[in-house]
Structure 1
C-alpha cells in the first residue's frame, strides 16, 4: 500500500498549477486532517476522492464537505486504487485542483436509469458555456464523468450527454466495490447517491490530452448473441447454445471453471464505427447465462480478442503521451479487468512501476467512459502538461 502521503507533479512551480494528490490508508481515523495537511493552504477549485470500499464512505464525504466548504468535492467507491506506488488497495486517494490553474463545475445526475434527456442536455450545455465565458484565459478543457458502476445505465448516459459537451472531451470511470459487485456509490458535496453520476466540467490554462488505451487485438473467432435481456446486460444464448457453455467451448475452457480470470484473459469485443470495443463479461449467473459490464443485444457479433503484453503496451502508450512533452500529472480510470489480468499474468509489479514512473493517479473501475461510449478493459484518462503551448 502507499507508504506515505505524496504531492504529485512539481510542487516548486510558482503558479501552483499542478494537481495535488494524497494517499491515506482507509484505516486512518482522521483521513481529512491528513489530506488537508498535505494539500496546505492553496485555494482549490475541485477535490476528487477515490475511496476504497473498506472505508466509511458516507462519513468521509460528509467530513470532506465540512473540510472543503467552498470547493466541489466529488467522490466514488473503487475496485482498487492507483497511488504513488501504482496499483494499490485499501486507500483513499485525494486529488486537488488548484484554483490558480483550474476552474471546475460539478453536477450530480440522479435517476440515470430514467433520464429526462433534454433538460439535462440543456443544463450541461449552459454550464459548459458559462464556465468557458467566465474563464476565458483558460483555453483548455475536459469533462470527468463518474457513474454508479452497478446502475446498468452508463451506455445511455454517455450517449445522452456527449452532444452537450461539444468539443470538450469527456472521460471517466464507473464506481466499483472491489470484486464484490454488491454496492457502489458516488457523491457530490456531501450528498451520497446510487443509480447516479457526477459530471465535472474543467477548464485549465494547462495543455491537456484525454486518451483511452487497450492492449487487445481481435482474432478470427466470432460468436453471435442469439438470446439476451439487454436491460439487464444478460446473454442467455450464443450461437443458439447456452451462453456460458458456448463461450467456454470457443475459448477452450471448462464451462464449470469460468471465473473472472477467464473473462480477463479471454475478452470479447464488438465493432463500432470502424473500431473494436470490449464488451467485458462480469460473471456467470446461476442459470449459466453471461452477465456483461456494458450494453449487449441480440444479433450482436462478438469477437474473441487476444491480449498483447500489458506492460510493453502500457510503456509504449505512456511514451506516446510524452512524445512532445512530459505530462506533469495523469489522472486515470483503469478497468478492474486489467488489474485482474495483470495479477494473473504476474505483471502487476511491472505495471505498477510504469504507472508510478509516469505519475498516474486514479482508481480501478467497473467500466470506463470515453466520448459517447461506455467501454471495458481499457484505461481512460487525461494527461496534464506543465506548459500551455
Structure 2
C-alpha cells in the first residue's frame, strides 16, 4: 500500500508519472494543472474532462501551457481523481520524457474505416517509436474513441492485426448522463466520429488489465431480430426484446431503466471468456439498444454481479502483489459507477480507487485487445522503473 505522504493536493509525486485535477468550471483550471504537474519535458499529457468544461477554451489553454507536449484526451461520464469517483473535474496525467516515449495515430472518420490504410499507419508508428527509443523495453497502447460513434467494435477489430504483441486498452468518451455528444481531444482539436491511438514505450514495467465482477447464470436467450449497424435488438427468443428481457429478469417492462440494466447485464462468450454487453436503453417499440456489437443469432446469457467492493479490492491487491504501481490509469464503465452508487457502495469504491492511486475516467465502453466491452474496469498499471521504489 502506498503511503499517504506520497501524495499531496491530488498530485501523485512519484517521478515516473504525475497527475493532478482541477474544477472544470474554473477559468484558471489549466494554469493550475500545469503548475501542479510541474516542469517537463513531457512525452504526452492525457486530459479527461467533464462536460462542464468549456471545450474550446480548454483546448487552447492546454496548447499554451504545454506547448512542447502531445495532448490527448476525451470527454467523460465522470472522472477518477484523488478522491475516487468525482464529477465536474478535469484530470491531467503527465508522462515525463525521461520515462516515456509516444507515437499517436489519428483515425479521423470512424464511419469510413480503411483497415489497410490503418494497418500501414500502425506499423509505421510502432517502428518509429522503436527507432526513437530502443532502450525502453516495455510498451502498451491506449485507444480513446468517440463514445457515441457505435464504431468501437469495427475499430478494435481493424486495429488488432497491426498491434502485434503490444497490449491495448482504451475507453469510449462520455457525455455525463446525457448521451448527446462526445469528444476526443487531439492536440488543440476537439473532434467527433474519430479516435486516437497512442503507442507508449517506457522503462517502467506495465500490466494491461480488464476486470469485471459478474458471473454467468444458466439463463440464456437468443437474438432473433436485430439491427447490428445501430446495435439495436428488436426480438429475443422471437418476442419483443424489452418484454422478454424484463420477463427473464423478473420485472415489469415499464420498470426497465439504468438501475435494472446495471444490475442485470448480458454477456457473450468470446475466446472462452464472457464479455459484458450492456444495454443502453429500451425504446417505446420494445427494442433494446446496446453499447456494444450485437447480431442476429447471438446467444446472450444473463449475468449476476458479485460484490463490487470486494471484487475491486481483490483485483487492485493483485495488481500490487509483487510491487505497488506508481499509478493506475483506468477506464471504468459508467454503469459500474451507477451500480456502486445505487447499492450505497460508491464511497467504498472511491476509497479503494484513491488508496491505489487510480486516475482516469468513467466511460461509455471499454476496449481490451481486439474486443469492445462494457461494464469493466480496464486500464494499465504502471510500476516504478527498476531501482526506484
When normalised by structure 2's length, the TM-score is 0.96
Structure 2 CA distance, aligned partners of 1:285 and 1:241? Answer: 14
Q: Is the CA contact 1:147–1:175 (under 8 Å) kept in the aligned structure 2?
A: yes
Deviates more, 1:124-133 or 1:325-334: 124-133
Q: Is the CA contact 2:105–2:125 (under 8 Å) kept in the aligned structure 1?
A: no
How far the C-alpha of 1:6 sits from its partner, in A, is 2.1
Aligned length: 380
Runs of 4 or more consecutive aligned structure 1 residues displaced over 3 Å after TM superposition: none
Q: How does 1:57-206 map to 2 (within 5 A)?
A: 57-206=55-204
Gaps of 5+ in 1: 11-15
State the partner residue of 2:381: 383
How far the C-alpha of 1:107 sits from its partner, in A, is 2.3
Q: Is the CA contact 2:266–2:301 (under 8 Å) kept in the aligned structure 1?
A: yes
Change in Cα spacing, 1:57 to 1:149, as seen in structure 2 (3 Å) is same
Question: SS at the partner of 2:326?
Answer: strand
- Post-superposition Cα deviations, 1:52-75, rounded to whole Å, max 9, x if no partner, equal 011112220122122212211002
State the partner residue of 1:6: 10
Structure 1 CA distance, aligned partners of 2:115 and 2:301? Answer: 32
Structure 1 CA distance, aligned partners of 2:276 and 2:63? Answer: 37
How far the C-alpha of 1:387 sits from its partner, in A, is 3.0
Question: SS at the partner of 1:294?
Answer: coil
Question: SS at the partner of 2:259?
Answer: helix
Q: Is the CA contact 2:45–2:95 (under 8 Å) kept in the aligned structure 1?
A: yes
- Post-superposition Cα deviations, 1:103-148, rounded to whole Å, max 9, x if no partner, equal 1122221111210111111111111011012101100011010100
Q: How does 1:234-245 map to 2 (within 5 A)?
A: 234-245=232-243
Q: Is the CA contact 2:242–2:287 (under 8 Å) kept in the aligned structure 1?
A: yes
Structure 2 CA distance, aligned partners of 1:93 and 1:233? Answer: 31
When normalised by structure 1's length, the TM-score is 0.96
Q: Is the CA contact 1:77–1:175 (under 8 Å) kept in the aligned structure 2?
A: yes
Deviates more, 1:21-30 or 1:77-86: 21-30
Question: SS at the partner of 1:42?
Answer: coil
Question: SS at the partner of 1:377?
Answer: coil
How far the C-alpha of 1:9 sits from its partner, in A, is 4.5
Structure 2 CA distance, aligned partners of 1:66 and 1:26? Answer: 17
State the partner residue of 2:4: none
Which of 219, 222, 225 is equivalent to 1:221?
219
Gaps of 5+ in 2: 1-7
Structure 2 CA distance, aligned partners of 1:155 and 1:194? Answer: 17
State the partner residue of 1:13: none
Deviates more, 1:291-300 or 1:28-37: 28-37
Check if 1:349 corresponds to 2:353: no
State the partner residue of 1:22: 20
